[in-house]
Amino acid sequence: MRDFHGIGAVDVAWLPLGWKCAAYAEIEPFPIAVTKHHHPEIPNLGDVTKITDGQIAAIGPIDLVVGGSPCQDLSIAGKRAGLEGERSGLFHEQMRIFHAARTFCGARWLLWENVPGAFSTHGGRDFGIVVSAMAGADLAVPRGGWGTCGAAIGANGLVEWRVLDAQ
């Protein structure tokens, strides 16, 4: 399942692996039109804040939930509202959806894609919230910051992060 779908680049990138998108969540007309054109069979669940447990359960078995909450509030090019921002704060909806997908669909993995600015908003505390939520642990910002790669473990499992060059 993919939420915050955009134009579905992940779907295309993972086709050679045999992975198929089971559903997505998108509200912007252009990305919806692109996905409908290329993959009319994939259901759009719409606004991530309105997706219900019933909608998630109806998807059936899935392995992975992928999401890239909007980056504008985390990006160094933005106003740096961080996870308190209206757009980037949708990360919390992704976590809600993942927990439902884990419960109802057997999802085992969660991938959160975003910008390097996520490491530094609010002194790194925003990325701490992300890692803590994903790992199921209360983690503080490491001395020297998060770095471009690392790992943490908690009650929910292992979390790894890595900065990849978008080029």
Q: What is the SS3 string spanning 56-107?
A: HHHHCCCCEEEECCCCCCCCCCCCCCHHHCCCHHHHHHHHHHHHHHHHHHCC
Q: What are phi and psi of 110, to 5 degrees?
A: -130, 130
Q: How many whole angstroms separate alpha carbon 86 and alpha carbon 97?
A: 17
- Tracing tokens 């106003």 back to the chain, one arrives at 79
Catalytic residue positions, numbered? 71
**Are the C-beta atoms of 159 and 153 separated by less than 8 Å?**
yes
